[in-house]
Amino acid sequence: DVYENEKIKKQIFFLPDDPYYTANVCANELADLYRATHDFNEDVFREYLKRFRLDAKKPIRNFSKGMKRQVFVSLALAVQPKYLLLDEAFDGLDPLARFSLKRSLARMVEEKGGTVIISSHSLRELEDFCDSYGIIDHGKMTCSGDLEGDMQKIYKFQAAFDREVAREELMFCMSVVQTGRVVQMTARGDKEEIMQKIQALNPLFVEEIPMDFEE
């Protein structure tokens, strides 16, 4: 139970999509707040302000959305919480800042332990460094699991035919995209068995193609 539980709250940091701040507050003043409530690493905070090239004395209301998020990311990494909750973590960040944040989160988990939970609509952003996932639809968890393990159970192939292939012939597929006589097929199961079923349709050629987590 985290309600009024100061000891547990010190282990949690939540960064919402649109974090709250008062009109004239600067990064230094926000840091004062978190120094009072969390175990705050001053060196880490200053390191990330410098890395993001942020003026700690300037009111953050004058910052762009990406710069505001960088301020709060710097605070989160300085707190080094046991549970870090990020809502749309990469929204507004430029490519270099996104890469830096991913690397920093991975390093924090490796060195300090703990858990990072990220909610995002951009699954491609998460694919390369998250190890597990959960899909939420209308407030309910519809599926979850090990990301890498589940990705290895689903395969995508592209094949060309000298005839129109009927949809009924591709019932073993989860999804099918046809462009003329070229067909992209996504199927779950044993890769060799899936390939045998495709070969039985006598394609002109067939190849496995990469598939990302969003697909």
Instruction: Check whether 215 has a pLDDT greater than 80.
Output: no
Instruction: Check whether 55 has a pLDDT greater than 90.
Output: yes
Per-residue model confidence (pLDDT) at position 204: 95
pTM given for the model: 0.78
Per-residue model confidence (pLDDT) at position 172: 94
Q: Is 187 exposed, middle or buried (0-12, 13-18, 19+ CB in 10 A)?
A: buried
Q: What is the pLDDT of residues 134-160, one digit of tens each?
A: 999 999 999 899 988 888 889 999 999
Q: What is the pLDDT of residues 177-208, one digit of tens each?
A: 999 899 999 999 999 999 999 999 999 999 99
**Cβ density class 41-80: b for 16+ within 10 Å, e for less:** eeebbeebbeebebebeeebeebeeebbbbbbbbbbbbbb
The model's confidence at residue 5, banded by pLDDT at 50, 70 and 90, is very high
Phi first, then psi, for residue 20 (nearest 5°) are -85, 140
